[in-house]
Amino acid sequence: MAIKTYAYDAADFLDSPEAVEDYLIASFEDAAEYGDPRIITKALGNVARAKGMTQMAQDAELSRTALYRALSEEGRPELSTIFKVMQALGLRLAPVRVETAA
C-alpha cells in the first residue's frame, strides 16, 4: 500500500498575528544564517497569501500586481516594499547585534 502524502503550504498555518511573527522571525534568522535573502521573500509571500494578496496589497498601499511580482520566486523586492509589507503586518525591521565567536 502506497503512503498517502499531502502538499505542505506554510500559509495554511499562519492563522494568527503571533504565528506570522514567529514565522517571520525564524525566516529572517534562517536568511541570515544561510546568507540567502530569498528566504525572506518566500516567507513574506507565504504570509501575504495567508492574509490574502488583495488585502495585503491594500494594507501595504501597493498594487496587487506589484506585490505579486515582488514576492514571486523571481522577485527581488526593494527595501521600501519590505518595509511596507512589514508595517502592514504591524511589524518592523530592527537591527539585532550578532554575537561573534572570539
Quickly count: other Cβ atoms within 10 Å of residue 85's Cβ: 25
Helix intervals (H) in 4-90 = 17-34, 38-51, 53-59, 64-70, 79-88
Residue-level pLDDT at 69: 95
pLDDT band of residue 101 (cuts 50, 70, 90) is low
Helix, strand, coil % in the chain, rounded to nearest 5: 60, 0, 40
- C-alpha–C-alpha distance, residues 38 and 50, integer Å: 18
Q: Mind listing the pLDDT tens digit for each residue in 4-50?
A: 999 999 999 999 999 999 999 999 999 999 999 999 999 999 999 99
**Cell numbers that stand for 80 in this block:** 521600501
Cα 56 to Cα 72, 77, 95: the distances in Å are: 14, 15, 24
For the segment 68-91, what is each residue's pLDDT rounded down to a tens digit? 999 998 999 999 999 999 999 999
Give CA–CA dist 6/88, Å, rounded: 31
Which long-range contacts (C-beta less than 8 Å, at least 24 apart) are formed by 80-83? 82/40, 82/44
- The arithmetic mean of pLDDT across residues 53-78, rounded, is 95
